[in-house]
């Protein structure tokens, strides 16, 4: 028996070659608005927070230490933090996670 393969006629792309480009652009836009833009905003807020550190503020470092700022030199990227009456340490401003001003109360966090 003789079989003849049947071929479907090629259909024209209704988007004119943009059929692949449109979903890729949509994915890039989604990644930008869900991942990249919020991260940039958080980095900008952290930079503003660090630039407003002044003497007397209570700070939390990335290591979990809570202390009071005793010295903020203008020419350096370090601050001096008093952890207790006998202990003062110098920490990089970039390692500060939270800055609480003198009169600001401790933030309440819901207990799980």
pLDDT at 75 over 90: no
Query: What is the C-alpha separation between 53 and 88, in angstroms, rounded?
Result: 17
Q: Domain spanning 22-100 has what CATH number?
A: 2.30.30
What is the predicted pLDDT for the residue at 105?
55
pLDDT tens for residues 26-51?
999 999 999 999 999 999 999 999 98
> Residues 77-87: what's their mean pLDDT?
93
What is the predicted pLDDT for the residue at 18?
73
- Mean pLDDT, the chain, as a whole number? 85
- Determine contact, residues 43/87, Cβ cutoff 8 Å: no
Q: Is the pTM of this model over 0.85?
A: no
């Amino acid at each position: 028996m003789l079989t003849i393969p049947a071929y479907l006629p090629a259909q024209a792309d209704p988007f004119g070659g943009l059929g692949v480009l449109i979903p890729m652009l949509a994915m890039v836009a989604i990644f930008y608005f869900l991942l990249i833009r919020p991260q940039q905003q958080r980095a900008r807020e952290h930079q503003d927070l660090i630039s407003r550190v002044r003497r007397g503020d209570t700070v939390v470092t990335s290591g979990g230490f809570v202390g009071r700022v005793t010295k903020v030199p203008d020419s350096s990227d370090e601050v001096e933090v008093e952890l207790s009456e006998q202990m003062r340490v110098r920490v990089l401003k970039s390692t500060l996670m939270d800055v609480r001003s003198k009169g600001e109360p401790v933030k309440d966090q819901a207990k799980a």
